[in-house]
Amino acid sequence: MRSLLRRVASTRTGHRLTRVAARTSGRPGRIGRIGEAADRLLAASMYDDSYYRSDPGGCRGGRSGYADYRRSTSNADALAVALTTWLDVDRVLDVGCAAGFFVEASRELGLDARGIDVSGAAFVLADPDVRPHLDVLDLTAGLDEPTRSRGLVTAFEVLEHLPPDAAPAATAELRRVAASYVVATIPSYGANASGPDGWFEGKVRDAVLDRYRDRGDPSGGPVPLTDLARDDDGRLVEGHQTIASYAWWTARFNEAGLVRCPDTELLLHHDLARYGLREFVCLYVFRRPEADEPVSPLRSSEEVAALEDRLGLLDHGAPVAHVDEAAADLAARGLSPRVGPG
């Protein structure tokens, strides 16, 4: 079905759908519903090879976040080192794995890691040794993993691509497969007690940005389609259909039976700050109720330093202020950072 959608979107019919969505989405009654359906149809059709095609000189007009997509630019190494330093797991499933860079990094660190994605278009970018561990699967249709089969399930920049009404089933499926932890990064707005707050920039249209900055969204729920940012073709930026608050997403995971881990998030944010990523990652860490919240590192500072040096994680010149802010957040909760050199 999705391959059919991708073919339609690239035809004259697809271009007409774009115009229909731009003209009718948000209007009252049946016309507005037609526009919304066109918007969501187009968003679901985006993930072909053009979505992942390299364009180091730009961002392709908001069509994709993969303009310069390599393992070194994907944050896969930083996330793999940080997560495996704090989470005691041995089997990992990465949902929405794209080219499998996180799977590759995790396997190099000794984990049994597998990746799945709704589109296999990015698999051509994967290391040949990793490709056998990548499969095309749709989270919303259910995963082929047994219940509680993976100690850690990750979903990096994935759930915002689904419509809001798909979130409950998606979070429930992530929880079903996870034996202990679910970690997600999701573009979010609003207050966040365990890391930097979210933001609206790049998520809503410029014409309404000031209104959202000043007032926020009282509901905390998903931003209406009519207010979401658009790319140069008039489609939803990067196919993002659900932009919601930290509180809204946390509630969806809670409804699925997961518990958020604020102390673990703060500890991870301190590591990510050292890698220059603190201000760019809207991080969520959840656990099953029977799993403990991780607050003790599994590696020594010397072991982490060796990995950081090998992978060049400290080469980005992380802002000292961000590291200091992360350390202050830890101190306010009575936590001690895992301090390594640099």
Summarised one tens digit per residue, pLDDT across range 34-83 is: 556 666 665 556 777 777 765 655 554 555 566 667 888 889 999 999 99
The span from the CA of 264 to the CA of 268, in Å, is 6
Residue 31 has pLDDT above 50, yes or no: no
- For position 219, what pLDDT does the model report? 77
Mean pLDDT value across residues 222-244: 93
Reported as half-sphere exposure (CB side, CA atoms, 13 A), residue 52 has a value of 19
Strand order in the sheet with 134-136: 134-136, 112-117, 91-95, 150-156, 178-185, 283-287, 259-260
Residue 210 has pLDDT above 90, yes or no: yes
Mean pLDDT value across residues 302-316: 90
Helix axes 76-86, 301-311, angle to 10 degrees: 170
The pLDDT mean for the chain works out to 86
Determine the residue type at 153. Answer: V
DSSP secondary structure string for all residues of 200-217:
-TTTB-HHHHHHHHHH--
Segment of 120-129, 165-174, 217-226 carrying the highest mean pLDDT: 165-174
- For position 25, what pLDDT does the model report? 53
Q: Which of 232, 224, 239, 228 is nearest to 203 (CA)?
A: 228
Residue 24 has pLDDT above 80, yes or no: no
CB 6 within 8 A of CB 45: yes
- For position 34, what pLDDT does the model report? 58
Mean pLDDT value across residues 294-321: 90
- Measured in whole angstroms, how far is the alpha carbon of residue 179 from the centre of its chain? 20
Residue 28 has pLDDT above 80, yes or no: no
Tokens of 281: 């990652």
Q: Which of 40, 70, 39 is nearest to 52 (CA)?
A: 70
Strand partners, 117: 136
CB 79 within 8 A of CB 102: yes
Determine the residue type at 20. Answer: V
Residues 119-145 have pLDDT tens digits of 998 899 899 999 999 999 999 999 999
- For position 17, what pLDDT does the model report? 44
Give the three-state DSSP class for 114: strand
